[in-house]
């Protein structure tokens, strides 16, 4: 058995004696910590933690974390990190005044990404996605979701999902795969959108299920993309193949996405920049998680989701990066936490809960990830010298991560 001991931890963050699957209400405001702590890892799991007075004498590997904090890795439950190329021309077009939706209507946006992805080999896609995965792991992410949705044809959607499957094999962190065939209506179906929805339901879904390529099914349910009725058709078909819904909803308009997500048992409804009291009340009475993506609101210059109202209503808010080339070209979760605090007025404790334990729940990985608890996987990071959890969002331009530990071992960027 291999043991790793971290000694003299200034602050050990998000510790759990009693397991919780999600935090909300009073609990999301609390971030349990142990100061002047040790953490003992046996093989790939957390074996013990507590105050330094109880620190074991020996271990195979000993790290000293004087003046530093230890966090469970971020759990990022919404990304599109398999893509062909950046879209910085559209970024400049938006600076000049075009809107995200206008770019999409002109055949840019998601369709631009689809054109480029269709031309790219599976190998090349895998290589670039692997680089991005390593980048976010170095930034502290220890569990992640990745979507398809830039293929928009049977072959290209399957190609994307096969890339995700190969990433799962290579990856030191767990990956959950989501099929997002209904991300946009592709050019060749512009005048016959129903045929495209039929293609998603009758050609793509069966193949995705047959090859076991995804755990979840997503739809971009929003103004200019898919309607609630279309979304419902796709989600009901997905359920038949055992794919649980998690959807994009209410980013561009209050267009019924939350309602259709909740009615169809979505694990999560994501974005929620455009919601009101009605949607918040509906979420409060459901098991569907609200996943907020402030990196997108920041990058597109659109209003942020009303996180405070959601927290005050007792919702188990989740934070994720939305890493993608169009609306959030960054997977840096510490910056997402900064935005949540600075722009959405989440307290640092709330934001950290939303990006760790609640993120793990949104990945259905809370039994093994998202907190420092005995028996959970040892995926965590040691910060650079820092003295309070508030310093993580406060130093918004500096990565807090100094050392990454995955599966009980120090991880080095390949």
Q: Which of 186, 290, 325, 408 binds ligand NIG (CB under 6 A)?
A: 325
CA distance 290 to 336: 15
Task: Give me the least distance between CB of 30 and ligand NIG, in Å please.
Answer: 30
How many other C-beta atoms can be found within 10 angstroms of the C-beta atom of residue 94? 18
- CB nearer to ligand NIG: give 83 or 381: 83
Total of chain residues touching ligand NIG, rule CB under 6 A? 12
Assigned token pair, 113: 């990404």
Is position 322 an interface residue for Fe ion (rule: CB under 5 A)?
Answer: yes
Per-residue 3-state assignment (H helix, E strand, C coil) for 172-211: CCCEEEEEEEECCCCHHHCCCHHHHHHHHHHHHHHHHHHC
- Contact between 248 and ligand NIG (CB under 6 A)? yes
Question: Out of 141, 324, 358, 379, which residue is the one contacting ligand NIG (CB under 6 A)?
Answer: 324
Residue 30 beta carbon to Fe ion: minimum distance, rounded to whole angstroms: 30
Is 353 in a helix, a strand, or coil?
Answer: helix
Rounded to the nearest 5 percent, the helix, strand and coil shares of the chain are 40, 25, 40
108 binds ligand NIG (CB under 6 A): no
CB of 322 to Fe ion, least distance (A): 4
**Contact call for residue 90 and Fe ion (CB under 5 A):** no
Residue (11 or 318) nearer to ligand NIG, CB: 318
Handedness of CA 351, 356, 358, 363 (dihedral sign): positive
Stretch that binds ligand NIG, among 11-19, 319-327, 346-354, 369-377 (CB under 6 A): 319-327
Separation CA 72–CA 227 (nearest Å) = 38
Q: CB of 322: closest distance to ligand NIG in angstroms?
A: 5
- 289 or 296, CB closer to ligand NIG? 296
The CA-based angle 15-311-356, given to 5 degrees, is 30
Supply the minimum distance, in Å, between the C-beta of residue 324 and ligand NIG: 5
- Quote the CA–CA distance of 256 and 195 in Å, as a whole number: 23
Residues near Fe ion (CB under 5 A) are: 322
């Amino acid at each position: 058995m291999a043991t790793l001991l971290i000694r003299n931890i200034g602050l050990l963050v998000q510790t759990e004696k009693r397991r919780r699957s999600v935090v909300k209400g009073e609990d999301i405001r609390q971030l349990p910590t142990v100061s002047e702590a040790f953490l003992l890892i046996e093989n790939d799991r957390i074996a013990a933690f507590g105050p330094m007075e109880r620190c074991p004498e020996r271990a195979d590997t000993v790290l000293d974390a004087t003046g530093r904090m230890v966090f469970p890795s971020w759990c990022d439950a919404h990304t599109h990190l398999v893509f062909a190329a950046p879209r910085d021309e559209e970024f400049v077009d938006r600076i000049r005044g075009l809107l995200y939706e206008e770019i999409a209507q002109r055949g840019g946006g998601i369709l631009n990404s689809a054109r480029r992805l269709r031309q790219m080999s599976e190998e090349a896609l895998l290589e670039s996605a692997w680089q991005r995965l390593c980048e976010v792991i170095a930034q502290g992410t220890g569990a992640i979701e990745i979507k398809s949705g830039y293929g928009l044809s049977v072959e290209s959607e399957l190609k994307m999902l096969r890339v995700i499957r190969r990433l799962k094999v290579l990856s030191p962190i767990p990956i959950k795969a989501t099929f997002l065939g209904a991300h946009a209506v592709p050019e060749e179906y512009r005048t016959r959108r129903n045929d495209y929805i039929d293609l998603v339901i009758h050609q793509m879904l069966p193949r995705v299920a047959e090859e076991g390529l995804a755990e979840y099914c997503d739809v971009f349910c929003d103004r200019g993309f898919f309607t609630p009725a279309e979304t419902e058709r796709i989600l009901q078909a997905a359920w038949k193949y055992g794919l649980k819904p998690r959807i994009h909803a209410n980013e561009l308009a209050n267009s019924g996405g939350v309602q259709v997500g909740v009615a169809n048992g979505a694990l999560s409804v994501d974005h929620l920049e455009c919601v009101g009291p009605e949607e918040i009340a509906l979420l409060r009475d459901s098991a569907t998680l609200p996943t907020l993506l402030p990196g997108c609101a920041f990058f597109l210059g659109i209003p942020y989701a009303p996180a405070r109202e959601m927290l005050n209503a007792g919702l188990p808010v989740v934070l994720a990066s939305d890493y993608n080339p169009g609306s959030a070209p960054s997977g840096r979760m510490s910056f997402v936490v900064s935005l949540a605090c600075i722009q959405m007025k989440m307290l640092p404790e709330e934001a950290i809960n939303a990006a760790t334990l609640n993120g793990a729940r949104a990945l259905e990985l809370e039994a093994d990830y998202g907190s420092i608890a005995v028996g959970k996987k040892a995926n965590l990071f040691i910060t650079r010298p820092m003295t309070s959890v508030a310093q993580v969002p406060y130093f918004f331009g500096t990565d807090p991560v100094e050392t990454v530990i995955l599966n009980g071992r120090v991880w080095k960027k390949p």
